Amino acid sequence: MMRHDGAMRCAKEAMIMALSRRALLAVAASGTLARAAPVRPDGADPQDRDAVSLRDHGADPSGATSSVAAFAAALAAGRRVTGAPGDVYLLDAPVVVPAGRAIIGNGGTLKIGANAIGLKLAHDGCEVSGWSIRGNNGRYAVLNTGRGNTFSNNVCTGDIGHFFFSTGADHVTAIGNRVEGLSAGTEITTAIVMEKSRHITVKNNHFEQIPVGWSVQIRDGSSNFVVADNSFLQTRWTDSRKAMAGQRVFTFDLKSRCHLKKVQINGRPLSLGYAISGAGPSYTVTFQSGRAAGEIITLVGYRGAENIQINTGSHDGVITGNTIDGTGDSGIICLGSHLLVTSNTVRNCGYAGIAIYGDQNYIAVTNNTIADCAQLDDGRSSPDDPRLASVFAGAILASGEEATITGNRITNDAGTMRYAIRINKANMALRTDGGATIAISGNRISGDYADGRISAPNETTGARINSIAVDGPEVRYPGTIDLDRPWINAPPPDDHFGTKGFGKTWAIRDTAVRKDGAASLRTIAGEHVEFALLQAAILRNCNVTVSFWAKAVSGSSYVSVFTALEGLLHPLTAQITATTWKRYTISFPLTAKLADTILIRCGATSGSANIQHIAIVGHRL
């Protein structure tokens, strides 16, 4: 479906390999690709001493009274503390766990007191495993600040801030846990959180119907992490009505309280023009204007937000092999840097499937399967500010530096996504060496998209997109700027190019050439010559590349490529100061509000330069 440019592909593969190697070696060296081995400060195995039971140390198995003292006594008596099946132990105050302890539930229940912290892993080499953990409006079930600690094979239910919160820790593992959010009536802020921690593994966990918050969050200051092989389920709760002519008010029953909701009209999201009321699961939608007869009005809701969120300030991580089915927000949010997001399956998200968002850099999004996202996003109004267009109405959002998006499989059978991939980077640095801030290649995209398969909208002067690379079909501009034939001031105009200039001479035809050709264009200090592409409309909805060879004789010359937005010209400029022949490129998408206007200006601020082989080519977005 797409044309593969060999050089571009090799460069991007090299980048992905480098990024993958950096991320994978970092986490592998730390031991986080496998389950982290507990650190035993004294070298003793916790099972070398007899296990002690909580009941033997006075724990109330009914959960009616506090078991804090019993936990403390048991932890002092032995390294392996066990619960009993069917028992419920109330922790209404923090229990500080000594180093090297294993706290094994055997199917018993930890009931966290309201607004309480349960277990504090402030020391090293500890394990909390095999518990049923009841949130009970607690703050944290387990707070980890130590090294080599593990949270594994627990079943977590009920309302809580966090079931596992790790901060300032090292070699942290959360593996094999199950979080059942349908039992939570109000909120799980985030089920598993890693903050300012290093060498992290979050693997083989299952998250279901998490309300309001996130499932996994890697916060600022965290590094060398793997989020792998987890599964996430958020049901897409829906109810539909057929409108009568002029009907404004509709009632729906979503069968669950949903914190994130939007309306669809005939299967397409709608963000504005109505209000939703009700505490759930029943809701009322009131439109500002009456609907047309026969329209299918559907209320779509989800219980919770992002499944995986990688915060700004976190770095060197791998997000791989995760399965996401539904969320009221975006499936995977990448705000960190040096990330590899690969081989995940994402579908039915309210907003984007995978979103690279913010000022992060060095992110590769490769070989993911993404389907039927943007269930809540019409692409016209932002969830944060309805006056702004949303950028989350598709499979992948790319707004970082040094981002590579390749090998992904994207489908839109539901028809809700307006684009497959959207570029939304503000203040992009111009790459005149042919490099790309965002490179998109080798993706398999099927379905219809209202804003195109790759959307790169140049809509404002403050957020101009340039220096991207795509591998869509090539579109060559007809005609060339012929510098070889005799000319004065500028090559004569024709059907493809108009010419004009500034100054007395504009430019000089010079016989100094790189290798081939009879002549080059030599700039003059304080003057310029300008070429207008009279058939620029041919390049509409293409990523346009203007390339040329140049060598400075002295001083500083330039080539600027101008596009027009709402009547104002905006330049992208390559400065020419190198005194040897060098190839320069200027690239940009001719999309959205940009006019079908492209001007190429060659001039000098001081001294002069020779310019040759000006080429213009586009690749379809």
Structure tokens at 313: 């300030």
Backbone angles phi and psi of 181, in degrees to 5: -80, -15
Report the amino acid identity of residue 370: I
Distance CA 565, CA 593 (A): 6
Q: Taken in order 16, 18, 21, 27, is the CA torsion positive or negative?
A: negative
Torsional class of 21: left (φ above 0), alpha (ψ -120 to 50), beta (otherwise): alpha
Q: Are strands 528-533 and 62-66 parallel, antiparallel or unpaired?
A: unpaired
Tens digit of pLDDT for each residue in 57-79?
999 999 999 999 999 999 999 99
For residue 427, the model assigns a pLDDT of 73
Q: Are strands 542-565 and 594-620 parallel, antiparallel or unpaired?
A: antiparallel
For residue 211, the model assigns a pLDDT of 86
For residue 515, the model assigns a pLDDT of 84
For residue 254, the model assigns a pLDDT of 97
Cis peptide before 281 (omega within 30 of 0): yes
For residue 522, the model assigns a pLDDT of 99
Taking CA 124 as the corner, what is the angle to CA 120 and CA 128, rounded to the nearest 5 degrees? 55
Mean pLDDT of the 280-305 span: 96
Q: Which residue has the higher pLDDT, 3 or 515?
A: 515
For residue 137, the model assigns a pLDDT of 93
Structure tokens at 481: 């700027």
Range in 44-58, 250-264, 371-385 with the lowest mean pLDDT? 44-58
Q: Which residue has the higher pLDDT, 464 or 20?
A: 464
Highest mean pLDDT: which of 446-455, 586-595, 603-612?
603-612
Q: For residue 149, give the DSSP letter.
A: -
For residue 188, the model assigns a pLDDT of 76
For residue 12, the model assigns a pLDDT of 47
Mean pLDDT of the 528-548 span: 98
Mean pLDDT of the 475-480 span: 96
Q: Are strands 102-104 and 80-82 parallel, antiparallel or unpaired?
A: parallel
Taking CA 229 as the corner, what is the angle to CA 226 and CA 235, rounded to the nearest 5 degrees? 120
Is pLDDT of 11 > 50? no
Exposure on the CB side of residue 397, measured as CA atoms within 13 A? 29
Strand order, beta sheet including 296-302: 237-242, 296-302, 260-265, 268-270
What is the overall mean pLDDT for the chain? 91
For residue 39, the model assigns a pLDDT of 44
For residue 382, the model assigns a pLDDT of 65
For residue 40, the model assigns a pLDDT of 43
For residue 464, the model assigns a pLDDT of 77
CA distances from 30 to 21, 46, 416 (A): 14, 23, 42
For residue 5, the model assigns a pLDDT of 47
Backbone angles phi and psi of 337, in degrees to 5: -130, 160
Mean pLDDT of the 351-373 span: 92
Mean pLDDT of the 178-193 span: 84
Confidence class for position 27, pLDDT limits 50, 70, 90: very low
Whether 367 and 345 have beta carbons less than 8 Å apart is answered as no
Is pLDDT of 32 > 50? no
Q: What is the pTM of this model?
A: 0.90
For residue 25, the model assigns a pLDDT of 40
Range in 39-43, 155-159, 494-498, 538-542 with the lowest mean pLDDT? 39-43
For residue 212, the model assigns a pLDDT of 78
Percent of the chain whose predicted confidence (pLDDT) is above 70: 90
Tens digit of pLDDT for each residue in 478-528?
999 999 999 999 999 999 999 999 999 999 999 999 988 999 999 999 999
Percent of the chain whose predicted confidence (pLDDT) is above 90: 80
Is pLDDT of 178 > 50? yes
CB count within 10 Å of CB 25 equals 12
Q: Are strands 150-152 and 127-129 parallel, antiparallel or unpaired?
A: parallel
Torsional class of 86: left (φ above 0), alpha (ψ -120 to 50), beta (otherwise): left
Whether 523 and 609 have beta carbons less than 8 Å apart is answered as yes
Tens digit of pLDDT for each residue in 166-176?
999 999 999 99
For residue 424, the model assigns a pLDDT of 83
Whether 301 and 256 have beta carbons less than 8 Å apart is answered as yes
Is pLDDT of 13 > 70? no
Range in 210-214, 224-228, 596-600 with the lowest mean pLDDT? 210-214
For residue 147, the model assigns a pLDDT of 98
Distance CA 612, CA 442 (A): 32
Tens digit of pLDDT for each residue in 189-218?
889 999 999 999 999 999 999 887 789 999
Mean pLDDT of the 182-194 span: 83
CB within 8 Å of 384: residues ≥ 6 apart: none
Domains and CATH numbers, the chain: 46-234+304-455 (2.160.20.10), 237-302 (no CATH), 476-620 (2.60.120.260)
